[in-house]
Structure 1
Amino acid sequence: MKLVHVYDAYCGWSHGFSGTLREVVSRHPELPVEVVSGGLFTGSRRVPIREFGYAQGANARIARLTGAEFGKAYDRLIADGSFVMDSEAAARGTVALRDAAPHRAPELAAALQHAFYVEGLSLSDPATYGTLAERAGLDAEAVVTAFRAPGTRAAAEADFRRAAELGVNAFPTLLAVHGDRVTVLAEGHASADDIDRRLAALDAH
């Protein structure tokens, strides 16, 4: 069995779920975790953040429920409403980091979200990935090159297709995949204890 974490780096609820995922990973080192980008803001949804209107209210609720941090630099980045959340760029960044250290994919996805939601760094900026790679002890130049590579764009599109094939249309969603059996462990918000109970119920069958 493995866990599949379907998230979007520009999704506030995914950011809020980072702490839960970190705890689940630490409790279950025996379970491999695949990280898949869902593609929340693509196509016609790739518009200035002001068109969503609800970001600040939603983030306040996420912070209250999950303890997730939304930093002042992030507030400054989105203050005038012109910032465009491009999930395709964020998915390419996820692929570039994931390929550099596959076994650290959940940790790197969380770092990516921290870069945006706390540090106010754009996930469309190649320099963001250089910074994250350096911090993680990875080859920054290789990660930035990968972010720009055409093959990474194709891999991001493959992530979006995989999310759809898994039936995921809300982020984050944590799945347990065992052969052909796919079980939803969490959608949106859950605690590590909630997920443990669901895993235990799976094991009992």
Structure 2
Amino acid sequence: MVRRLSYVYDPMCSWCWAFNAVWQEILDGLPADIEVRYLLGGLAPDSDQPMPAQMQQSIKAYWQQIQRQLPATEFNYAFWDECQPRRSTYPACRAVIAARQQDPQAEPAMLLAIQQAYYLQAKNPSDEAVLIECAADIGLNTSLFAVSLRQPQTQQQLLDELSLVRTLGVSSFPSLLLQQQTKTELLKYDYRDPEVLLSQL
């Protein structure tokens, strides 16, 4: 019987970026009967307002905290000087859905492209132009992608996914859940050691 491992994340979640390396190791070590599903958590709704200075300082502090705990995690702090930050992750979430619609296997690549644009290249994934550039980087049809990104159905799909995540009891990211038959279990994980999670499968 197939068991499902759900990875709940937000493309602009700093701790999800910090988890990325060990997540790849987990994927490489999964038992054959595990099916992986990605679910979007949606940290922040749409907004065209500049991020308040206090919030900018708080997020920069998260980045610094992550680097103290996990020195291999890279951040490009030029983002805060070169971009106009907005507290809005829903556009990046819709971009992942638009990528899925074009190619169901494209989600991990789109996630990584958004993360690299944000954390390494100091680009703002709250901006549509950056998301279209990410789609181009992973070989998607950018015309189709741009249409999907703006469709009401894509927004509704995101809202439905966020509702599912709430139903599963998830409130922080990343979260990993093992689902088998009618049972759903929230798994423990470590940012350095994939075996902490793999040993629970």
Question: Residue 151 of structure 1 aligns with which residue?
Answer: 153
Match of 1:179 among 178, 181, 184: 181
**Structure 2: which 5+ residue stretches go unaligned?**
none
Match for residue 64 of structure 2 among 41, 44, 60:
60
SS of corresponding position for 1:168: coil
Return closer, same or farther for 1:115/1:160 CA change in 2, 3 Å cut-off. same
Which residue is 2:74 aligned to? 69
5+ residue gaps, structure 1, are: 200-205
Per the alignment, residue 202 of structure 1 pairs with: none
Provide the C-alpha distance between the structure 2 equivalents of 1:124 and 1:29, rounded to a whole number of angstroms: 36
Residue number in structure 1 paired with 2:10: 8
Q: Does 1:42 align with 2:48?
A: no
Summarize the alignment of residues 94-113 of structure 1 with structure 2, pairs less than 5 Å apart.
94-113=96-115
Give the Å deviation of 1:108. Answer: 2.3
Q: What SS class does the counterpart of residue 167 from structure 1 fall into?
A: coil
Give the Cα separation in 2 of the matches to 1:191 and 1:143: 36
For 1:158 and 1:171, locate their aligned partners in 2 and report how far apart those are by CA, in whole Å: 18
Determine the C-alpha separation between the residues in 2 that align with 1:189 and 1:98.
27
Distance 1:177 1:39, change over 3 A: same
TM, length-normalised to structure 1: 0.83
Q: Which one of the candidate residues 73, 88, 91 is aligned to 1:89?
A: 91
Q: Please state how far the C-alpha of 1:172 moved relative to its aligned partner.
A: 0.9
Q: Provide the aligned C-alpha RMSD in A.
A: 2.4
- Deviation per residue, 1:89-122 (Å, 9 max, x gap): 1211121122223234233222212211211222
